Amino acid sequence: MQIYVDADACPVKAEVVRVAARHDIPVHMVANSWMRIEASPLVKLVVVEEGPDAADDWIAERIGPSDIAITADILLAARCLKAGAQCIGPTGKAFSDANIGMAIAMRDMQRHLRETGESRGFNPTFTPRDRSQFLQALENAVQAAKRRG
């Protein structure tokens, strides 16, 4: 089991490291540029080449059925689910085969609304409740992965 983090704009990197340390799980923080991350022998910073979806491609090519992905990118979440992995958004929302189709449809609708000027496209503020929900969702995902073996 490994955890892959789409790290560029991820607000829960420290939480991932904390849960990973508790369970002795390797973490790959994948980003398009160098960033400061918490020092840990379990955490590896992977800086990919510049380009659209380079970090997403790196994760999708390596993730497997016993792994967990952390991302707000719905299309990356779909790719990770297809590989059999679990996937969690930074607010604690778990993506699944049952809800990924609706998430993609909503993403496309929001993009259309922004393009037509119907929506300004702002993101809600990340809250302490989001952080708490994320920690619970990640713990649940780790426990589920351990049960699956």
- Global pTM? 0.87
DSSP for 84-141, please give it: T-EEE-TTSPEE-TTTHHHHHHHHHHHHHHHHTTS---PPPPP-HHHHHHHHHHHHHH
Q: What gap in Å lies between CA 98 and CA 77, rounded to an integer?
A: 13
Q: What gap in Å lies between CA 40 and CA 109, rounded to an integer?
A: 40
Instruction: Give rounded-to-5 percent helix, strand, coil for the chain.
Output: 45, 15, 40
Q: Quote the percentage of the chain above a pLDDT of 90.
A: 70
pLDDT in tens, 22-54: 999 999 999 999 999 888 899 999 999 988 899
pLDDT in tens, 110-130: 777 777 877 776 667 889 999
Mean of pLDDT over the chain: 91
Q: Are 37 and 15 spatial neighbours (Cβ–Cβ below 8 Å)?
A: no
Looking up tokens 């390596």 gives 62
